[in-house]
Structure 1
Amino acid sequence: MTKPACPLKKSWLILALTAAVGLSACKILPTPSAQGADSGNSSAFNPDKMVEEIWASKVIPYLQQKAGPFAEVHALAKTDPAAAGAKYGNPKKQANSPWTFAVRVEGKIVAANTQSRAATIDVDVDGDGKADARVQIGPAMRGTALRDSLDFVQFNDFTNQIDFAQFGKAFNAHAGKTVLSKLPRDGLEGRTAKVLGACTIEGGQDLPLVTPAEAEIGPKP
């Protein structure tokens, strides 16, 4: 006499067949990697293009209107940073950030360092023969002074800190490509310099480091 099939075994067999059919009908799609997601975001966010679009129409006119003579800005920043910030700085800056001032630097070049990619010129603005400001002439430039001087650029307008930082670097890159790359590199000492840019002025700085948005260097004397 044949034993009837065990109900429990029959149930397991049905479940196994159902699972097999289900798997054969499904297509397993790969999960996008974090790298792929970042790549998508990067293609949408183009800081170089953003800077290029506002440079002539907003950035330069703003700095031209806001900037003060370097000697005046420096003196006021040393005695009353808040007053200097209200007049020459970005009043919408983040509370914990230092003031960044729009400045005009005009004077004689008393020293030049063009051996490094982070090239600079030291400028005497008051005629005493000593450097008062150090101006970056690139191609490599430090800081985000140009971005930070603008009251129409706010951190909260960006998705994250990385995008905000890249936007700051894009200002330096644009200035380097369109302005600073055209400057002479030889025989700079003794020539005149005329710069529109931005800098921070903090206690303990040897020379305030100015990032130019416009720059001219006069002929050899």
Structure 2
Amino acid sequence: MLSKPIWPIKATWPILALVAGIGLSACKILPTPSAQGVAGNASGFNPDKMVEEIWASKVIPYLQEKAGPFAEVHALAKTDQAAAGAKYGNAKKQANSPWTFAVRVEGKIVAANTQSRAATMDIDVDGDGKADARVQIGPAMRGTALRDSLDFVQFNDFTNQIDFAQFGKAFNAYADKTVLSKLPREALEGRTAKVLGAYTIEGGQDLPLVTPAEAEIGPKP
């Protein structure tokens, strides 16, 4: 049997509660950054503004100088991607990234899908009546080919993967706002098209998918 009662131990409870309260009050709950808010985050990162600022002064001149005729670029890319990349692509790309090439696509529209938000037109560049390239005309567009074709844009220049991805999407959004949204959408088959843009070598796709930075569609035949 204990010689002294144990009830005085309860006197320590308020002290423990006080200590716990101090520990909790010293902690701050910080909000988790949202990828959706990256364009206006506290760091000032604004991918849409960044693209707008370099579009006319750097992006278009670079593509105009780097791009080759689609048939020529694609023929070389199918046999020697490294050689095609050195001439028409971004030689500073990450080693594990696919090659992306700057191209000019000129020819006749042989098919078009304008019912989807991811609208496209198929272009015959060699006159055989068959599509050689598929051109995205938005507003929704896959991939980041425009960003990836530029040798002055590198992943290591960005804080994180989210910022880099948002910057890639901003190119597509700007192309749609300034160029693609102004293109006709009706009766495209049979018209001529001229496109300056980029595409990425990917496996499993029916046609090379070109993302335009400039695009023109001729009158109805």
Q: The TM-score by the shorter chain falls in which range?
A: 0.7 to 0.9
Query: 1:195 maps to which residue?
Result: 195
User: CA offset at residue 201 of structure 1?
Assistant: 2.8
Distance in 2, Cα, partners of 1:183 & 1:134: 16
Q: Deviations over 1:202-221 (max 9, x none)?
A: 45432000000000000000
User: CA offset at residue 39 of structure 1?
Assistant: 5.8
* Pair 1:181–1:57, CA change in 2 (3 A): same
The residue type paired with residue 89 of structure 1 is: G
CA contact (8 A) 1:74 1:201 kept: no
The within-5 A match list for 1:94-109 is: 94-109=94-109
SS in 1 for 2:173: helix
Q: Larger Cα Rg: Structure 1 or Structure 2?
A: 1
2:62 is the alignment partner of 1:52:
no
Distance in 2, Cα, partners of 1:202 & 1:30: 46
The residue type paired with residue 57 of structure 1 is: S
Distance in 1, Cα, partners of 2:29 & 2:181: 45
State the superposition RMSD in angstroms: 3.0
The within-5 A match list for 1:163-202 is: 163-202=163-202
The residue type paired with residue 190 of structure 1 is: G
CA contact (8 A) 2:38 2:163 kept: no
The residue type paired with residue 70 of structure 2 is: F
2:132 is the alignment partner of 1:132:
yes
User: CA offset at residue 42 of structure 1?
Assistant: 4.1
* Pair 1:142–1:40, CA change in 2 (3 A): closer
CA contact (8 A) 1:109 1:191 kept: yes
The residue type paired with residue 31 of structure 2 is: S
User: CA offset at residue 31 of structure 1?
Assistant: 3.7
Query: 2:114 maps to which residue?
Result: 114
Query: 1:34 maps to which residue?
Result: 32
Distance in 2, Cα, partners of 1:161 & 1:201: 21
Unpaired runs of 5+ residues, structure 2, are 1-10
Distance in 1, Cα, partners of 2:31 & 2:74: 50
SS in 2 for 1:34: coil
SS in 1 for 2:207: coil
User: CA offset at residue 33 of structure 1?
Assistant: 2.3
Query: 2:4 maps to which residue?
Result: none
Q: Deviations over 1:117-168 (max 9, x none)?
A: 0000000000000000000000000000000000000000000001000000
TM-score, normalised relative to structure 1: 0.85
Query: 2:71 maps to which residue?
Result: 71
The residue type paired with residue 97 of structure 2 is: S
Q: Deviations over 1:179-221 (max 9, x none)?
A: 0000000000000000000001345432000000000000000
**% identity of equivalent residues:** 84
The residue type paired with residue 191 of structure 1 is: R
The residue type paired with residue 126 of structure 1 is: D
User: CA offset at residue 63 of structure 1?
Assistant: 0.1
